[in-house]
Amino acid sequence: MAGLSPAASEVNLKNILVTGGAGFIGSNFVRYLLEVEPNIHIFNLDALTYAGSLENLKDLPDSKRHTFIQGDICDRTLVEDLLRRHQIDTVIHFAAESHVDRSILGPAPFIQTNVVGTFALLDAASQVWLREGNASAEGPRFHHISTDEVYGSLGPGDPPFSEVTPYAPNSPYAATKAASDQLVRAYGHTYGLPFTLTNCSNNYGPYQFPEKLIPLMILNALQGKPLPVYGDGMQVRDWLYVVDHCEAVHLVLRKGRLGETYNIGGNNQPANLEIVQEICAILDELVPYSAHRPHAKLVQMVADRPGHDRRYGMDINKIQTELGWKPRHDTANGLRDTVKWYLAHRAWIETILSRREYNQWVDQNYGERGVKE
């Protein structure tokens, strides 16, 4: 790759631009990084779409080392200005439209943020760091967060996805993430933009917006609403506890080789229906006086997602052998911690449930599937 140094054993982490840091994984990562890196300052650029919230950034450790900027990653002038003014040495790019079902019902914002927005960030970084030479002596870094969904869907006997599995995205969401990954590689190869890339599996844990499977099921069950399982419920995801993911990204920033991709997975692959039943069992135990017990009776099999990927699974051998990372949580302890977090954050839940946009989304997505209250 043009101009890329092969290894980054001692990296400069000082002024960091995190995009999408008011969303689920981004806010967990901001919290994690402030804890483990005492000398950094985080500039957090987030447009605060429906998925982002300042509620996710309350009670940050050492919050004076965190500056929030509300803005769009597509705003090239704003991004360049942030890079120059704050002498950003590391960009960690989480911002995205992230929900497959929304991408099926309306792909346009996915093209805009995931493709055009990633291009704007890459080009701004190239302008400031490479063309203007406005970069730290140790060298800057662009870290891109992506997904296992770029690899497509596994058949029953297929080996898990590795870093060399060919891209075969199936949903509009996955296609836009694949496009953004390819742009990152192209900027590395053509212009020598120093980058690392991680593709992770399905995350779950605190602060996840309740449009995704696990928080949706917890919130619906608490309200005695149907638990809509798509198709036969036998689809498989490789569940990764969000804090484990944060730890892996931090390690890649510290020790990952420039120009490399690392797969991050949870080594946990129960079928969707098992996940939902496990959540119900945990709620039966933790909310013993609920009128909705046994919560499993709320499960409702509903119309499948169009083009639904059957199975994802990650081969994490590369990050494990090169950087010594492996997940600390399995779904047994991770789901329990997650349910406890939602039970302890009723005000956070209420804020989302009271929003018109959220209720419109639920009606649009589940009304069409014939979910009955």
The owner of tokens 């009670």 is 59
Collapsing DSSP to helix, strand or coil, 289 comes out as coil
Token pair, residue 93, equals 């790019």
Please indicate whether residue 149 is annotated as part of the active site.
yes
Q: Residue 207, exposed/middle/buried by CB under 10 A (0-12, 13-18, 19+)? A: buried
61 CB neighbour count, 10 Å cutoff: 14
> With contact defined as beta carbons under 8 Å apart, do 163 and 181 qualify?
no
Q: Please provide the distance, in angstroms rounded to a whole number, between the alpha carbons at the two ends of the chain.
A: 56
- Smallest distance, ligand TYD to C-beta of residue 272, A: 5
HSE-up (13 A, CA, CB side) for residue 333: 8
Residue 220 near which of ligand TYD, ligand NAD, none (CB within 5-8 Å, type-dependent): none
The site partner of 46 among ligand TYD, ligand NAD, none (C-beta below 5 to 8 Å per kind) is ligand NAD
Tell which positions 174-233 bind ligand TYD, by CB under 6 A: 202, 212-213, 216, 228-230
For ligand TYD, give the closer residue by CB, 53 or 272: 272
Catalytic annotation present for 148: yes
26 makes contact, choosing from ligand NAD, ligand TYD, none, with CB < 5 to 8 Å by partner type, with ligand NAD
Is residue 325 within 8 Å of residue 311, measured between CB atoms? no
Site string for ligand NAD, 14-33 (x = CB under 6 A): -----xx-xxxxx-------
DSSP 21-79: TTSHHHHHHHHHHHHH-TT-EEEEEE---TT--GGGGTT-TTGGGEEEEE--TT-HHHH
> Which of 32, 151, 173, 262 is an active site residue?
173
Quick one: what does residue 49 bind among ligand NAD, ligand TYD, none, with the CB cut-off 5 to 8 Å set by partner type?
ligand NAD
- How far is C-alpha 246 from the chain's CA centre? 10
Catalytic residue from among 148, 181, 211, 278: 148
Does 187 qualify as catalytic in the annotation?
Answer: no
* CA 296 to chain CA centroid, nearest Å: 28
How far apart (Å, rounded) are the C-alpha atoms in residues 247 and 327? 9
> CB of 19: closest distance to ligand NAD in angstroms?
6
Q: How far is the CB of 192 from ligand NAD (least distance, A)?
A: 24
Q: Least Å distance between CB 52 and ligand NAD?
A: 2
Q: Which residue has its beta carbon closest to ligand NAD?
A: 23
DSSP letter, residue 113: I
Residue 172 near residue 112 (C-beta atoms within 8 A): no
Integer Cα distance of 54 and 362 in angstroms:
22
- Interaction between residue 327 and ligand NAD (CB under 6 A): no
Binding-residue pattern over the window 235 to 254 for ligand TYD, x denoting contact by CB under 6 A: x-x-----------------
Measured from the CB of residue 10, what is the shortest distance to ligand NAD in angstroms?
Answer: 27
Question: Residue 275 in contact with residue 331, Cβ under 8 Å?
Answer: yes
Please, which of residues 48-87 interact with ligand NAD by CB under 6 A?
Answer: 48-49, 51-52, 72-74
- Residue from 90, 118, 202, 365 that binds ligand NAD (CB under 6 A)? 202
Listing DSSP states for 19-30 in one string gives: ESTTSHHHHHHH
Choose from ligand NAD, ligand TYD, none: what does 229 bind? Cβ within 5-8 Å by kind: ligand TYD
Q: How far apart are CA 135 and CA 250, in angstroms?
A: 21
Of 72, 149, 238, 309, the catalytic one is 149
Q: Tell whether residue 269 is a contact of ligand NAD (CB under 6 A).
A: no
Residues designated catalytic: 148-149, 173
The residues of the shown chain that bind ligand NAD, judged by CB under 6 A, are 19-20, 22-26, 45-49, 51-52, 72-74, 94-96, 98, 113, 117, 145, 147, 177, 200, 202-203, 209
The residues of the shown chain that bind ligand TYD, judged by CB under 6 A, are 100, 202, 212-213, 216, 228-230, 235, 237, 272, 305
